[in-house]
Structure 1
Amino acid sequence: MLIESYFVSVSGPPLANNTAISKDAGIYEHTLHPSHSTSNTLKKSSVPRNCLAVSDTHVFAAQDDKSTIYVYSRAKGNQEALVTLPERIRSVALLDDVLILGTQEGRLIIWEVCTGRQVTTPASHVQAVSCIAATPFHLITGSDDSNIHVWSLPRLLELDSTIEHEPQDTLSNHRAAITSLAVGQSVNPDTNICISASRDKSCIIWNYQLGVALRTLLFPSAPLCLSLDPCARAFYVSSEDGSLYAVELFAEKALLGPQSGEESSTAVQVSSAFGAAPQEAGPASCLGVNYDGTILISGHPRGHVLRWDLSSRADSTELANLNASVTNVEFVPLLTPARSTKSAMVVKPFLGSRSYDFTSQLGSDLVSDTRFGKMLNSNGIPKDVLEQAILAFQEPAGDNIGDQEVRKENEELWEIINQQRALQKKTLDRYVEAKSANA
């Protein structure tokens, strides 16, 4: 049975004296399916918004108003390393073995956790990098300065230290701080979309590779966070007044594509919310959508973790009360792509260029199992071997190498015989002509 789980982080002191909740617990791992439960807790961590990242083996958590990253081992459930960086961290994103950090001064720090290599960009943002979205080829960074930068990830990871790290493009349609970013995972440049939320009470859908704003959406109050459907069919927004909005991209009145009846420059007013956070919980500060897009998880500043059924749009159900401000909801991928290696440990980052080691565990044998090995290790005759044998009997018999050599020799001998017969016939004809001439 597949188990779906997600991580939730909290920030700040406990809201009340509740002995049922551990005071030093900062990150919780919850199981959503088949039944909701708390499977693990990671202690002594206070994680701000957009500062939690989860891999198959580790959890990376930036600390509130600090320049440190706590690295936790998921298998052991304890803190494995503490990494100190030169600037305070405001946002975190993870892509495979690369951790991307946004700083208070507007820089990006790229850290290869499997080797320790670190790349730092200039301060391209005027203010702090508030949120980061990542794809295998691009990084998208939003800032309190209202700008969004698009970066080429392969260029940032170049080994040549002389390359200048500059944004590939800048998206500057917003007029206030960027609060949240979400990006689709399509590799087609025509369908790659990114959605940004800003305190100017708007969300913009971008084709970030082309630098084009596809649609502007206006909300009654400032959006605090958003989450994109796994198939990029819709996205969900939480606003300052506690409302939750569901924006369908390809509904009856499509916002994108050829079915859209309006120009992309036309702003759309979004006014009808599908739900509202309870007053005692406060507006949702973080959102997460499960793998099939049917359940929305929201975290609230008064410790509530709520579940919303997106298929029925029914009222919320409380999953947990963590007695502290909930800042991040991070779903663990249900099915991860197969990888030939897995990092055995996290290497702390270092500055400068030098040789570095890569230590990993092999995911499989170096030599694949042979056909004979499969037959030897199986009970009886394998089914595929029997099928191949039956098909071989049904096919017409082919000439082996010996038969081909004999046939070639026969053809050469027949050619010699035919030449001798032709010569004999020609000689006999001349003899007949000479005898008739003498007569």
Structure 2
Amino acid sequence: MAPQELILSACSSDPSSSTSASRQQSTPSIHLHDLLTSTPVQSFKNSASSPHSLGYVQSQNGQGGGVFAVQEGKGMLNVWAWQKDQMHSKIHLPEKMACFSISPNGLWAAAGSPNGHIYLWELASGLLLASFTAHYRSITSLTFTPDSQILISTSLDSSAHIFVVSKLIDPEDPALAGKPYGSLTDHTLAVRSVGLGRLAGSMGGRIWTCSDDGTVKMWSLHPTFPLLATFILPPSSSPSCLSIDPSERFIYVSTTQGEVYHIPLFRRKGVIGSSVNEEKYEALGGGGDSSLPLKVEGSVISLKQSSITSMALSISSTHLLIGTKDGSIHLYSLPSHQHLRTLSSHNGPITHLTTLLRPTDLIIGTGSSLKSDQYPIMEIKPFERMKSTTVKTNHQFIMKLQSSQNLLSKLDDLRSAEKKIIAARSSGEDKDQLESLLNENKRLRTSLEKAGKINEKMWNGIVEMRLANGDSQS
């Protein structure tokens, strides 16, 4: 069975821009839709979150995952497990949070407050591993790199900071705890979003930031984190979201004016004397501060009737998903940019939009055949509100392990039917062979005992003969 790609979407509680009376009366929820057919798959009700305030954990290593959403205007984190549609847990946070993120490896949770404070927890134990002030204005987004080694924060103070997660958890110098490993400070207005390539991480890579100053900047993740290129959008454009092609061939930038711009990261390189069929390309940017900004002209998609609040690319970059302020999700085919369909399941501005492979433990309805012990529900402990001085001694967490009997039953299911039939037919032969082996073992033991007695008699005879010869010689 081919993997099923799902759309994960969430909205805020502001229905002011909703165009339908029925949608105004619906409850803000988190929805899962099939990417290809747009059919509803699952919904997690009673959740309203701000932009960049939702994260999810995929089921892995025999442990179940789920969805985590900070509630808009509340110091509350709601948790849903893939195995059930009812809310799994509610976690009280130290304060109202402006953004929230889960690391791709499912180990860490990070939250940013309106006053520029960052909190870092361990999901399994709920321990507050780091708590520090990173910005002097509200944090707009927190993003982990794909390898979960680096945390990137953006803020209304026009800066973006880069933190090494290991140094936040266990700083070498306590005096430098919470200090950024690097800072991106070339923007002049608030930084709204960060885009990451698949290769971005502790080993390097590239990242992109967009700001209210109408620019998108490309940076290197190699220290000292140099600026590689600057892209300038048309006047009066305010970038809101970034979507990066997994192969880093192009990026999409959306604006609050309802425009979507396509920025190629490679261009044809003219070589004198080369043949017509021989095409060569060169990467854009790389000149740093001294290079001229690159102008972006002509939007590829225009939704002037509503502001764009979220955007995402499918895993294979075949679809572009656009969430708007009126609660609609528009699907476009790539690279033609042809409009496919519109989803209207939300009643408020779309604040989260992403695609993911369907979790293996996702239960749809009550008729699912998946057993609860196959993927245990993730154990979630309350998050600490203050950092403990004895973190290492209090470090305890619960992990459910599958029983060996369950694992053996799964292994037995993998055996082919032919082998099972052969095993059933040969069960009687095995019993006869076992009895013959036991009889042979008994016979050999008896022979061994007889040989031992004969050996003992021979040894005693030799000793007596030696003693007798010695006495006669004396």
Which bracket does the TM-score occupy, shorter chain normalised? 0.7 to 0.9
Q: 1:29 aligns with which of 29, 32, 35?
A: 32
Matching residue of 1:148: 160
Shift in Å at residue 345 of structure 1?
1.2
Matching residue of 1:416: none
Q: 2:231 aligns with which of 203, 214, 217?
A: 217
Q: What letter corresponds to residue 274 of structure 1 in structure 2?
A: V
Matching residue of 1:132: 142
Of residues 46-55 and 231-240 in structure 1, the stretch that sits farther from structure 2 once superposed is 231-240
SS in 1 for 2:100: strand
Matching residue of 2:40: 38
Q: 1:276 aligns with which of 284, 287, 302?
A: 302
Q: What letter corresponds to residue 231 of structure 1 in structure 2?
A: S
Matching residue of 2:130: 120
Matching residue of 1:239: 255
Confirm or deny: 8 A CA contact 1:54 1:330 kept in the other structure.
Answer: no
Shift in Å at residue 208 of structure 1?
2.6
Shift in Å at residue 244 of structure 1?
0.4
| Alignment length (residue pairs) | 371
Q: 1:318 to 1:248 in 2, by over 3 A?
A: same
Shift in Å at residue 258 of structure 1?
5.8
TM-score (norm 2): 0.71
Separation in structure 1 between the aligned mates of residue 403 and residue 267 of structure 2, nearest angstrom: 45
Confirm or deny: 8 A CA contact 1:53 1:330 kept in the other structure.
Answer: no
Root-mean-square deviation (CA, aligned residues, Å) is 3.2
Correspondence list, 1:33-112, <5 A: 33=36, 35-56=37-58, 57-95=65-103, 96-112=106-122
Q: 1:165 to 1:219 in 2, by over 3 A?
A: same
- Give a deviation string over 1:166-220, Cα, whole Å, max 9, x none: 1101110000001111112316777511100100000101103321111000002
Shift in Å at residue 66 of structure 1?
2.2
Q: 1:161 to 1:333 in 2, by over 3 A?
A: farther
Separation in structure 2 between the aligned mates of residue 205 and residue 342 of structure 1, nearest angstrom: 41
- Give a deviation string over 1:83-106, Cα, whole Å, max 9, x none: 222222111111122111111111
TM-score (norm 1): 0.76
- Give a deviation string over 1:121-155, Cα, whole Å, max 9, x none: 32120111101221221111100000110000111
Matching residue of 1:202: 215
Separation in structure 2 between the aligned mates of residue 26 and residue 304 of structure 1, nearest angstrom: 14
Separation in structure 2 between the aligned mates of residue 216 and residue 159 of structure 1, nearest angstrom: 34
Shift in Å at residue 46 of structure 1?
1.4
Identity of aligned residues (%): 22
Q: 1:129 to 1:302 in 2, by over 3 A?
A: same
Q: For structure 1, list consecutive stretches of 5 or more residues without a partner in the other structure.
A: 383-439
Separation in structure 1 between the aligned mates of residue 87 and residue 324 of structure 2, nearest angstrom: 26
Confirm or deny: 8 A CA contact 1:70 1:82 kept in the other structure.
Answer: yes
- Give a deviation string over 1:23-69, Cα, whole Å, max 9, x none: 22321111113x21111222222111111111122111112222221
- Give a deviation string over 1:373-396, Cα, whole Å, max 9, x none: 99x9556679xxxxxxxxxxxxxx
Matching residue of 1:402: none
Separation in structure 2 between the aligned mates of residue 334 and residue 228 of structure 1, nearest angstrom: 21
Q: For structure 2, list consecutive stretches of 5 or more residues without a partner in the other structure.
A: 59-64, 271-280, 361-374, 421-474
